[in-house]
Structure 1
C-alpha cells in the first residue's frame, strides 16, 4: 500500500475486506478480511502501476483500491471454485 505505514495498512485492509465482504455477500472473519484487504490492495496497486503508471494515494485512495481488489479476489475465487 503506497504512502501509508504498516499499522494503517492493517486498518485500511480490515475496512476494505469488511466493505468488500458486504458488497460481495461473503462470510469471512476479521483476520481473513485483513489479509484479503491488504492482499487485494497490493494486487490492484501492482496492476494500476503497470497499466496506468500510478495509483491512488492516501487512506481513502487505498481504501477504494483495497475494496476493488478484494472484490476481484472474491469474484476470482468464486469463478475458480465453480469450474
Structure 2
C-alpha cells in the first residue's frame, strides 16, 4: 500500500486531516477571538487547510506531515475566519 494519503500529503490520511482541521479551527478561533462551535471549527479548519496548502504551494514551501500541515491549516483558517468576519460585518 502506498504511504501517500489524501491530498497528496505523506502520512496524512482522512482521519488525521479531520483532527488537523479541528485543531486548526480551534487555534484560529482563539487567535481571532471569535466564538464558533465545534462544527464551525472543523469547517473553518478544513477549508483553512485547503487555503493554507494552496498558499504554501504558491510560495513553494513544502507542506507534509502532521505539524507542517497543522501550521498551514491554521494560517489558512485564520485567513478564512478573517475574511468570513469581514463579509458578515463583525
Unpaired segments ≥5 residues, structure 1: none
Aligned-residue Cα RMSD (Å) equals 1.4
Q: 1:25 aligns with which of 21, 33, 36?
A: 33
When Rg is computed on C-alpha atoms for both structures, the one with the higher figure is: 2
Offset, 1:60: 0.6
SS of 2:54's partner is helix
Q: Cα distance, 1:26 vs. partner?
A: 0.7
* Bigger relative contact order (CA 8 A; separation at least 6): 1
Distance 2:28 2:54 in 1: 19
Q: Which runs of 5+ in 2 are unaligned?
A: 1-6
Runs of 4+ in structure 1 deviating by more than 4 angstroms, as ranges, are: none
Q: Is the 8 A contact 1:16 1:37 kept in 2?
A: yes
Number of residue pairs aligned between Structure 1 and Structure 2: 81
